[in-house]
Amino acid sequence: MNEQYRIEHDSLGEFQVPKDAYYGVHTARAVQNFTITGIPLHHFPELVVSLARVKKACALTNFESKLLTDIQANAIIEACDDIIEGEYHDQFVVDMMQGGAGTSTNMNTNEVIANLALEKMGFAKGDYTHLHPNDHVNCSQSTNDVYPTSARIAVLSKCKELTDQQLELSAAFKERAEKFSTILKVGRTQLQDAVPITLGSEFAAYAVTIEEDVERVEQLSQLLKEINLGGTAIGTCINTPPHFSYKAVRHLSELVGYELIPAANLIEASSDMGAFVTFSGTLRRISVKLSKICNDLRLLSSGPCAGFGEISLPPVQAGSSIMPGKVNPVIPEVVNQVAFQVIGHDVTVTMAAEAGQLQLNVMEPVIILNVLQSVHMLVNAMRALATKCVNGITANEERCTELLHHSSVMATALVPIIGYEKAADIAKLSLKERIPVAKAAAQLGIMTEEDVYETFNTCHLA
């Protein structure tokens, strides 16, 4: 035997486990089997902490039900507390993408907690005769209730960070909107000149479209608070003492700091991924809006000489290896790409939820991976957009005025005074001769240039 390893066994036989590892044989096999994404469980500390909280809640309930001795329960609880405090996360090594409906994740958790507990009891790692990963740490549980419950709590733990970042980004747009409130410019539909607008109104609309989804995240996250803990394998509560689900959920609620709800039908809850589908759909909605806003920012800042050039984005890095002085809108570009990725994640979540069969959805790992990745990416993307882009946007007021005065949109403001047909004649001449609307009106003898500007400046602008 290699001195760097210890031998553990399972139903398949003996297997080498790194001597100092707190995980065991099931985890070691899974590490070899699932070399898929390179993203281990500890990449998402919120998931690791959630798993430990679920195990602690179950240990408390099992102790109350006299299924664990006080020594075993205390050792398990202390081990869980260590993990909740951020210790030993490097021992959660299984790839997030795995077969087995999350069994490897659950067993990685069971084994780490068991070996930590054994050390606290004065025994060696792997000496499972005193405390066993399955018989004690996993007592009254199944992967099929532990894993989805932990995933829901992990996502819930990130919701405030997500909404806080939405509010921060919205506030950044509001601040710019106030700063740009008096700057008139061309409003466009179908990329064509339409009617006048203020740059401030344009930015205020961005703030609203972001902020209105804060409430949606808060509302829809409530769906994740209904959990199937205690249902064990398929929701029939097999191998649990009486009232285990109610008691375990009560303990877990105390640990997470908000009320969790035992599913009304544990069999249904064991296979239904509807809450994740709905939540992921909200992340998709946020992404679509963010991408549209970033498209606008790229257009409005395009040029800077041969494009719209109405705003300038803060330069954060040189834009080209060949074109001197070029600066690219790299922050909006990366947010666009994050949005595309999150939208793709949502498609994956949808297909994985649909792929469930009978009493279990074995595709839960890819659902959990994609939802957590989406939240992480959106938080980071919105933070970058607010701090590295929106906060530093400046308005090119002269350019806005130049485009406005040479655009036919000024003719729209004249319609209530001179009628649609005369205003159309002015717009046509302005476009044909490439002259300001005011000059076109004067050439046609309809209004003086001074009257045009006075009318335009006093009209109500949305």
Residue intervals in the chain for CATH 1.10.275.10: 5-139
CA Rg, the chain, in Å? 30
Q: What amino acid occupies position 181? A: S
Global pTM reads 0.92
Instruction: Tell me the average pLDDT across 71-100.
Output: 97
Confidence grade of residue 304 (pLDDT, cut at 50, 70, 90) = confident
Q: Are strands 226-227 and 261-262 parallel, antiparallel or unpaired?
A: parallel
- CATH class assigned to 158-225+264-397: mainly alpha
| pLDDT of the residue at 319 | 67
Chain centroid to CA 17: 36
> How far from each other are the two terminal CA atoms of the chain, in whole angstroms?
79
| pLDDT of the residue at 105 | 98
CATH code of the domain made up of 406-458: 1.10.40.30
Dihedral, CA of residue 187, residue 328, residue 282 and residue 370, to nearest 10: 160
- CATH class assigned to 5-139: mainly alpha
| pLDDT of the residue at 195 | 85
d(CA 446, CA 449): 10
* Helix or strand (DSSP H, E) at 395: strand 394-395
Look up residue 373 and give its two tokens.
Answer: 């990745």
DSSP annotation of 34 reads -
| pLDDT of the residue at 317 | 83
d(CA 282, CA 64): 40
Position with higher pLDDT, 115 vs 456? 115
d(CA 237, CA 201): 57
| pLDDT of the residue at 2 | 67
Does residue 57 contact residue 251 with C-beta atoms inside 8 Å? yes
pLDDT digits (tens, 9 = 90+) for 397-446: 999 999 998 888 888 888 888 999 999 999 899 888 888 888 999 999 99
The residues pairing with 193 across neighbouring beta strands, listed in sequence order, are 188
d(CA 67, CA 373): 37
| pLDDT of the residue at 456 | 78
Confidence grade of residue 459 (pLDDT, cut at 50, 70, 90) = low
Q: Hey, is 394 helix, strand or coil? A: strand
d(CA 56, CA 251): 8
Residue intervals in the chain for CATH 1.20.200.10: 158-225+264-397
d(CA 273, CA 93): 25
Instruction: Tell me the average pLDDT across 338-357.
Output: 96
Where b means 16+ CB within 10 Å and e means fewer, 195-231 reads bbbbbbbbbbebbebbbebbebbeebbeebbbbbbbb
* Helix or strand (DSSP H, E) at 6: strand 5-10
List the catalytic residues: 320
| pLDDT of the residue at 240 | 94
Is pLDDT at 3 greater than 80 in this prediction? no
Instruction: Tell me the average pLDDT across 95-104.
Output: 95
| pLDDT of the residue at 453 | 84
| pLDDT of the residue at 293 | 98
* Helix or strand (DSSP H, E) at 261: strand 261-262
Position with higher pLDDT, 324 vs 149? 149
Is pLDDT at 462 greater than 60 in this prediction? no
pLDDT digits (tens, 9 = 90+) for 246-262: 999 999 999 999 999 99
CA-to-CA separations, 292 to 38, 200, 336, 337, 388, in angstroms, rounded: 32, 18, 8, 12, 18
Cα angle: 404, vertex 434, 397; to 5 degrees? 25
pLDDT digits (tens, 9 = 90+) for 355-399: 999 999 999 999 999 999 999 999 999 999 999 999 999 999 999
Look up residue 70 and give its two tokens.
Answer: 């006080």
Instruction: Tell me the average pLDDT across 152-181.
Output: 97
Q: Which residues, at least 6 apart from 215, have a Cβ–Cβ distance to it below 8 Å?
A: none
| pLDDT of the residue at 412 | 82
Tell me how crowded residue 453 is: count the other CB atoms within 10 A of its CB.
16
Is pLDDT at 455 greater than 90 in this prediction? no
Tell me how crowded residue 9 is: count the other CB atoms within 10 A of its CB.
12
| pLDDT of the residue at 376 | 98
**Torsion sign over Cα 191, 196, 201, 203:** positive
| pLDDT of the residue at 410 | 82
Residue intervals in the chain for CATH 1.10.40.30: 406-458
Residue linked to tokens 């991976």:
369
Does residue 289 contact residue 379 with C-beta atoms inside 8 Å? no
Position with higher pLDDT, 362 vs 323? 362
Per-position DSSP letters for 182-215, written without gaps between them:
T-EEEEEETTEEEEEEEHHHHHHHHHHHHHHHHH
Express as a percent the part of the chain with pLDDT over 90: 84
pLDDT digits (tens, 9 = 90+) for 196-246: 899 999 999 999 999 999 999 999 999 999 999 999 999 999 999 999 999
Rounded to the nearest integer, the mean pLDDT of the chain is 94
